[in-house]
Structure 1
């Protein structure tokens, strides 16, 4: 992944005499975050449409209980989308500009994210009927894993040579965020693999990402500006 990011970043640098980089001019990230917020909001809302009323009102309590796979798929997927949205904001708090390749990577991430309601529906249906739980769990896990890979690519590309990052973060702070984001694809892959053997366990392992990625990131706020102000205070004391 690192070598691929390096080659893309090198291709992005303008050649001698060229006025624009290979992947287009850079622009502010505001419209990217606005569009991303909208897609995440719509995707999260669509999840509830898969929870349908049981047939009739006789034995309603039992009918509602039988919908537990839909509740599980809804809760896990909604919270995973939510923590992805939060970490996306953390990334873009430090990304000062975007180019065409970063826009493409973000679009691919949103394309995968918009597919999650279908993957959650497949998972819920398989557990409700008791048929196809293993392929449904793998399908669900692979969808999330692809999203996590692209999510990591966005940050790795943006932070390479600190080219697209602002003064809100220094290289060490950028590495801290990288270390927090990197385990996600492997964690999801583990849950997907376990899902082949025990489907419900696989889903729970994937769901265990939720509390980890809602935690704050120690060291994220290390910035050049903070270091400069600290140094200025030290000189003033001397």
Structure 2
């Protein structure tokens, strides 16, 4: 069976690359006339810690989403309009990550922390839903998937994405209560998604 998703994957890789590159635009250096010695540079960088935190969180979140996107399209061999539009929704949301990242960098260390963290975690709730939608549309017709994939492998991948949703919702809830905990949950999800991508790889070999 010939794979028909090459153009989708190539276009998606480009969008992921642009989205992850846009994050660096929020990292700024001090004005030359504002710094007179190395100590002042260190102080400036210390005061910019919310910006670095937001950059690191978003960079690795997008990177891990790209890894999982790559793995899921190793399973999808054919495409239809539903798959293309669901993938487009993922790309739309991924390209929007830079905006809540900028809000987090600018307002996390202030009174608006709970709101900006809620917006930040909310975008990942939507992305997770989009991934679930993509896999649902692909897996409901087994003819769209790689030859020989088992029902057990399909179920494992479905559960893998579905189980992440309540964790993201918990993080969103904590955003309004303890914003730092919400970001810690997002950090923990790096590990979850990194490990889960391995499960998808195992399913490919079944």
TM-score by shorter chain over 0.5: yes
Higher RCO (CA-CA < 8 Å; seq separation 6+) = 2
Task: Give 1:57's aligned residue.
Answer: 35
Indicate the residue corresponding to 1:217 in structure 2: 199
Write the distance in 2 (CA, Å) between the matches of 1:180 and 1:158.
Answer: 15
State the TM-score, normalizing by the size of structure 2: 0.90
Larger radius of gyration: 1
Q: Measure, in 2, the Cα distance between the counterparts of 1:189 and 1:45.
A: 27
Cα drift, residue 222 of structure 1: 4.7
> Do the aligned partners of 1:192 and 1:206 also contact (CA within 8 Å) in 2?
no
Conserved? CA contact 1:94–1:168, under 8 Å: no
Structure 1 equivalent of residue 55 of structure 2: 74
Paired residue for 1:112, among 93, 96, 100?
93
Aligned to 1:165: 145
Shift in Å at residue 57 of structure 1? 1.7
Query: 1:84 aligned to 2:65?
Result: yes
The CA deviation at 1:168 is 4.8
- Normalized per residue, the structure richer in helix is 2
Alpha-carbon distance in structure 2 between the residues aligned to 1:168 and 1:214: 25
Unmatched tracts of structure 2, length 5 or more: none
- Would the aligned equivalents of 2:75 and 2:204 in 1 still touch at CA under 8 Å? no
**Are the counterparts in 2 of residues 94 and 165 from structure 1 also a CA contact under 8 Å?**
yes
Instruction: Tell me which residue corresponds to 2:171.
Output: 191
Aligned-residue CA RMSD (Å): 1.5
CA deviation after TM superposition for structure 1 residue 163, in Å: 3.1
TM value normalised by structure 1: 0.78
**Match status 1:101 vs 2:79:** no
Match of 1:22 in 2: none
Q: Give 5+ residue unaligned stretches, structure 1.
A: 1-26, 224-238
